Chains A and B, each alone.
Chain A
Amino acid sequence: MLDRAAPAATAALATVGEVWLFALKAVRESVLPPFEFRETVRQLYELGVRSAPLVAISGLAVGVVLSMHTRASLERFGAEAMIPAGLAIALVRETGPLTAALLLSGRIGAGIGAELGAMKVTEQIDALEATAVDSFRYLVVTRVVACVIALPILTTIMNFAGMIGGYLAETAATGMSLSLYFTSAFTLIDMTDYVPATIKTMVFGFIIATMSSYLGFTTTSGTEGVGRASTRAVVLSSMLIIVSNVILVRLIFFIFPEVAG
């Protein structure tokens, strides 16, 4: 039992080390030239622009549901006037960033895992290398950069869609006007609630792209392996996002103590 567990643990640690080196390389090559501009734009389109409808629609639905829940709990205290502000702060601080990141780890993570996995098993990655193209820069760095740029943008879309959803729910219930809704929605939010929470999704974007690319790049054993890479990309990046979120939130509290209050 133990003799079987020990090599498995060693292998797992080795994988962690490999992922770590892969991530470091991604960071280094993201900031050092040469840059694959065209391909980055293409990835921004594929991963960012094409995720916008998903995020917007989900945000709308999340906003409606959150609003109904906030209403149910605030009504008991006669604090209906706080619904927009309560919803907005919940969205902006945590619900928006985390929901967006988890949704995108599904869409983008699976996509990258499957695409790079397929390229790997059909030797397309080797073919890139053989044509004197740095496959890491061309495939990984472009996706990482695109994700790091796209995540905060998509999170912002999520936040606003959520607020519009909240507005729709609220106006259906009370006929509140749009401008009143938005004015009261922003009464409780501070810069320190909004900016760090949005910026932290860059880390989520990095996690999704790096984890999924790593799994794609290390795909073996054919079609089955591609499927596995794709599933693992979603599972592992969602998990890493949730865990890293704990650390990020602590970090934000540490840097901006007023957020915790």
Chain B
Amino acid sequence: MTETLEACETSARPAAPPAIAVRLDGVTKEFAGRRVLDDVSFEVPAGRGFVILGRSGTGKSVTLRHIIGLARPDRGRVFVGDDEISALDGPELSRVRRRIGFLFQNAALFDSISVGENVAFPLRRHTRLGEPEIRQRAGDKLAAVGLDKEYDKMPADLSGGMRKRAGLARALALDPDLILVDEPSAGLDPITADEIDDLLLGLKRSGGATLVVVTHNIPSARRLGDSLVMLHEGRIVARGSAADFDRSTNELVRAFMASQHAG
């Protein structure tokens, strides 16, 4: 069933790149008896931008990890497109993950290989491209995040912001249909942060990719988020468009929207 579906999608790809919808259904997660996510449900329509807001430690990163299957819900289900990723395993899980780009909060670059090789890594693993094309593509992705000169540097030699951008370049290497980014603009200057937002918006608009973004940066949340949720202590306390949030009476939402903090 899923096999046929994928075959259809692949053949249909050049015409209209299929976007993926994401749906969380009553996801509950505990770590060592502490409830981190409590009955979280939301839906991200295909090709849309979705922003998760919330204070530190409320479970935003954990939510993202559920979407790519790095964490499994104790209760509830997670759907990526037609696949229930929370129930997949092995090659099936890999097949879904290949369509997802994930930017870790700490970038999580492979520190034993160069920055360029980090970006080339997914290409080497999942495409049959030749060496020159791989280097070409990896170089392009790095250029897109403003790191065209850092191809041969080792991750340890980069600044925090540069590492974050390199991580994004790696997440985008396979031109994913679903992009999950954890605080993409954290540690970036406002100009670079805007450029990153532009890049993500471009992928959403012209590439038809679905975006799920965790951010504390309200301007960027306004630009990227067609809809937003506010997490607090593992629960969704508010949801809606940026305009809805501006009108919200929730103290927390008001405090967030009013903040001038960009980062």
CB–CB under 8 A between A and B in the complex? yes
Q: Spell out A's residues near B (CB within 8 Å).
A: 115, 118-119, 122-124, 126-134
Contact of A132 with B97 in the complex, beta carbons under 8 Å: yes
Contact of A126 with B108 in the complex, beta carbons under 8 Å: yes
Contact of B94 with A130 in the complex, beta carbons under 8 Å: no
- B98 interface residue per 8 A CB criterion: yes
Q: Spell out B's residues near A (CB within 8 Å).
A: 65, 68-70, 90, 93-95, 97-98, 100, 102, 104, 106, 108-112, 121-122, 125-126, 170
Instruction: Tell me how far the C-beta of A50 lies from the nearest C-beta in chain B, rounded to whole angstroms.
Output: 14
> If the complex has contacts A122-B111, A124-B111, are A130 and B97 also in contact, measured as CB distance less than 8 A?
yes
Q: Which residues of A contact B95 (CB under 8 A)?
A: 132
Across the two chains, which residue of chain A brings its CB closest to B70?
A126
Contact of A127 with B110 in the complex, beta carbons under 8 Å: yes
Q: Which residues of A contact B111 (CB under 8 A)?
A: 118, 122, 124
Q: Which residues of B contact A131 (CB under 8 A)?
A: 97, 121-122, 125-126, 170
Contact of B125 with A133 in the complex, beta carbons under 8 Å: yes
Contact of A123 with B97 in the complex, beta carbons under 8 Å: no
Across the two chains, which residue of chain A brings its CB closest to B95?
A132
Instruction: Tell me how far the C-beta of B191 lies from the nearest C-beta in chain A, rounded to whole angstroms.
Output: 27
11 A–B pairs (Cβ distance < 8 Å), ordered by A: A122-B108, A126-B65, A127-B104, A130-B97, A130-B100, A130-B102, A131-B126, A132-B94, A132-B97, A132-B125, A133-B94
Instruction: Tell me how far the C-beta of B194 lies from the nearest C-beta in chain A, rounded to whole angstroms.
Output: 26
The binding surface of chain B is classed by DSSP as: mixed
The binding surface of chain A is classed by DSSP as: helix
Q: Which residues of A contact B121 (CB under 8 A)?
A: 131
Contact of A129 with B110 in the complex, beta carbons under 8 Å: no
Instruction: Tell me how far the C-beta of A245 lies from the nearest C-beta in chain B, rounded to whole angstroms.
Output: 33
* A122 and B155 alpha carbons, distance in the complex (Å): 12
* A127 and B110 alpha carbons, distance in the complex (Å): 8
Q: Which residues of B contact A129 (CB under 8 A)?
A: 69-70, 97
Q: Which residues of B contact A130 (CB under 8 A)?
A: 68, 70, 97, 100, 102, 104
> If the complex has contacts A131-B121, A132-B126, A133-B125, are A124 and B110 also in contact, measured as CB distance less than 8 A?
yes
Instruction: Tell me how far the C-beta of B163 lies from the nearest C-beta in chain A, rounded to whole angstroms.
Output: 11
* A133 and B121 alpha carbons, distance in the complex (Å): 10
Given contacts A126-B108, A127-B104, A131-B122, 12 further A-B contacts (CB under 8 A): A118-B111, A122-B106, A122-B111, A126-B70, A127-B102, A127-B110, A129-B97, A130-B104, A131-B97, A132-B98, A132-B125, A133-B125
